[in-house]
Structure 1
Amino acid sequence: MFKTAILISFVALAHSAYDDLPQVSDPYNPPGHAPVTCSEDYKAVIESTRAELGKTETIVKYTTVLGNRIQQKFGRSHEVLIVKTGQIGHRSNYNGSICRHDTDYGFHYVLYPTPGDYNIHDAKLEEYFEKFSAFSSIRHPNIADLPIDPRRL
C-alpha cells in the first residue's frame, strides 16, 4: 500500500512538472518568418541567369554565378539556396528580408542578404568563400583541405 502511494505521488509530481514545460508549437505552423515573393529585381536576375546558363549547369555552379550577379546588382552579399523541392524556406529564424521564387521548371530559390558585416570588395575574402563553397559541395571532404579564413590571419 505504501509503495502504491509513493508511486502515485511520483506520477503526480512528474505530471505537474511536465505542465511547467513550454508547449510544443504546432508542427504545421512553426515559429519564425515566412519568406515573401521576390521582387521583380530579384526575379529578373534569377531568370536571366537561368536563361543564359541553361539547364545543363550544375546547381553548385549556378548558385555561385547567381550569387555573384545578385551581389553585383544589389551591392552586398546574399545567401542563395536552390533546391528541387517546395519545402525549402517556409520559415526561418532570420529576421530580415527573405524572398522566395518558385519556377515552372522545378527549382525553388530562397534569397536573403548575408547577416553581419561582410565586405564584398575584399578579394581575399571573396576567394575564401568561393573555395569554401566548392569544398562544402564535395561528397567526402578532407578537413585538411578546408581553406583558411583570411580574417583569422
Structure 2
Amino acid sequence: MKKTRAPDLTTERIQVVLETLDGWKGKLTWDMLITVVEKNLGIVYSRFTLSEYPEIANAFSLKKDSLRGGRQGGAAVPRDDRVRAALEQVDRLQVTVARLKQENMLLKEQFVTWAHNAERKGVTITMLNEPLLKPQRDRSKLK
C-alpha cells in the first residue's frame, strides 16, 4: 500500500513547530518532536521534511544546545503557581528571543550574500531598493 504524502508545511504549521520547540522541556529528539507535532497538527511529518526547513532545523539545534547547558541543575522551584508560571513564560520568551536572533543573523548573512552577488552582476543597491509596482487591479474589469 502506498503511503500518502503529508500536506506541505505552511507558515502557520511552521509556527506551531517553532512554538513547540520554544516551549520544550526535557530530552529532545527528532522522533519526540515528530510525535508532539502529530498531536498538535494531526499530521505526521518526517524528520527529513522538518529538518528541510532552515528555521525548524536551526530552532531544533538551538533548543538542543540550550537543553544541554540549561538551568535545570538544582534551581529551587517556587511554590507559588503564579511565580512558577511567570518563570516558565520568561524561559519560553528567552528561548524565542534566542531563536529569532539566530534567524535574524542568518537572514542578514543571506542578504549580504545576495547583495554581493547582485553587485557582481551589475545590479546596484539603489536598483534593489526600488519600490514594487502597485498591482493594476482595475485592468481586468470590463468597462
Q: Which has more helix, going by share of residues?
A: 2
More strand, by proportion: 1
Global fold match (TM > 0.5): no
Q: Determine which structure has more spread, i.e. the larger CA radius of gyration.
A: 1
Per the normalisation by structure 1, the TM-score is 0.27
The normalised TM-score by structure 2 is: 0.29
